[in-house]
Chains A and B, each alone.
Chain A
Amino acid sequence: MSNSVNISVETTCENQIREIAYDGTELYQPPPTLSESLAKCAARIDFSKTSLEDLKKEEKSAAAAEDDNKDVNQFQESLWPWDAVRNKLKDAYTEICVLSDVISIAKDKRYLVLDPLLEDGDDTKPIVQVYSRKKAISQAAQVLLSGAERLRNAHSEQRSRNISDFHIELLRLRQNWRLKKVSNGAIIGDLSYRTAGSKFGMSGTFEVTKAEDALDEEGAGNSANASTPSSSSSNNGMQPKASSALRVIVPAELQGVAYIKVITQKDQEDLCTAQVNLMGHGPNITAQVGVWQKSLEFAQNVLFCKELFAQLAREAIQLQAPIPHVVIGNQIRATLLPNIQLIISLCHSTSFDSSQPAPINDHDHVLEHSLHQLLREVHYKNSHHPFPHPASAPLGPSKKRMLAGPTAADREALLDMTKTQTILEQIIAQAQHIFMRKRTQYVLDTLARDVKDPQIVSHWNAMNSPTMSCVKINIVTHGYDAIGRTSLVIHVKERSLKCICRDGRVMKLSYEPQELRDLILCQINSHQISCLVSLARYMAWTVLSNSNHLGIGKVEPLGNASSCLLASPNSDRMIAVQIRCDPQIDVKVYIARSPRQDFFPSPLVPEKFWENLGGNFKEVRFDKIEGKSFLNKMEFLMASLTSNTA
Chain B
Amino acid sequence: MAIPSARESLTLAVNNRFLPNLEYLLQGSILDTAVEHLMHRLKGLCDNVDTSPETFHDLEVCMSLRQPNSPQPLLLRVRRALGRDAPFQMRYLGQPEVDMRRPTLVRSCMDCACTNGILDFLSEMGFRLEFEYIAKGYMFRKGRMKITVSKLIKIVPGKQQDMANEPISQSYIVELSVVAPTGQENVGEEMRLFAEQLKPLVQLEKIDYKRLGNLP
Contacts and interface: CB of A to CB of B under 8 A. Distances in A.
Interface of A: 383-385, 387-396, 402-403, 405-406, 411
Contacts of B54: 387
A391 B148 contact: yes
A392 B113 contact: no
Contacts of B13: none
18 contacts: A387-B139, A390-B79, A390-B88, A390-B89, A391-B81, A391-B150, A392-B58, A392-B60, A392-B79, A393-B113, A394-B111, A402-B86, A402-B87, A402-B113, A403-B87, A403-B113, A406-B114, A411-B3
Contacts of B60: 390, 392
B141 interface: yes
Contacts of B84: 389
Contacts of B77: 392
A406 B112 CA distance: 9
A342 to B, nearest CB: 34
A393 B56 CA distance: 12
B115 interface: yes
A233 to B, nearest CB: 39
Contact of A389 (B48, B56, B111, B114): B56
B128 to A, nearest CB: 21
A405 B144 CA distance: 22
Interface in B55-78: 56, 58, 60, 77
Contacts of A394: 20, 111, 179
Nearest to B53: A387
Instruction: Kindly list the 10 A-B residue pairs having the minimum CB-CB distance in the complex, ordered from nearest.
Output: A390-B58, A390-B81, A389-B86, A405-B113, A389-B81, A406-B87, A390-B79, A387-B54, A406-B115, A391-B56
A391 B79 contact: yes
A395 B89 CA distance: 13
Nearest to B84: A389
Nearest to A392: B79
Contacts of A391: 56, 58, 79, 81, 135, 139, 146, 148, 150
B89 A392 contact: yes
A196 to B, nearest CB: 10
B43 to A, nearest CB: 14
Contact of B144 (A388, A389, A395): A395
Contacts of B151: none
Contacts of B88: 390, 406
Contacts of B48: 383-384
Given A383-B47, A384-B48, A402-B86, A392 B111 contact: yes
A357 to B, nearest CB: 38
Contacts of B179: 394-395
Q: Is the interface of A mostly helix, strand, loop or mixed?
A: loop
Nearest to B90: A392
Nearest to B138: A391
A395 B111 contact: no
Interface in B112-131: 112-115
Nearest to B48: A384
A385 B115 CA distance: 23
B91 interface: yes
B214 interface: no
A282 to B, nearest CB: 16
Nearest to B137: A391
B184 interface: no
B51 interface: yes
Nearest to B146: A395
A405 B110 CA distance: 14
Nearest to B47: A383
Contacts of B148: 391
Contacts of B150: 391
B214 to A, nearest CB: 25
A391 to B, nearest CB: 5
A405 B111 contact: no
A390 B80 contact: yes
Contacts of B87: 402-403, 405-406
Contacts of B86: 389-390, 393, 402
Given A391-B58, A393-B89, A405 B79 contact: no
Interface string B164-181: 000000000000000100
A392 B60 CA distance: 10
Given A391-B139, A395-B179, A405-B112, 16 more contacts: A387-B54, A387-B56, A389-B56, A389-B81, A389-B86, A390-B56, A390-B80, A390-B81, A390-B88, A392-B89, A394-B20, A394-B111, A395-B144, A402-B113, A406-B88, A406-B115
A383 B143 CA distance: 9
A403 B86 CA distance: 8
Contact of B111 (A384, A393, A411): A393
Contacts of B111: 392-394
A403 B47 CA distance: 25
Nearest to B150: A391
Nearest to B143: A395
A395 B145 CA distance: 8
A233 B49 CA distance: 42
A543 B166 CA distance: 82
Contacts of A389: 56, 58, 81, 84, 86
Contacts of A406: 87-88, 113-115
Nearest to B86: A389
A405 B141 contact: no
Interface string B7-19: 0000000000000
Interface string B22-48: 000000000000000000000000011
A411 B114 CA distance: 18
Contacts of B47: 383
A378 to B, nearest CB: 16
Contacts of B89: 390, 392-393
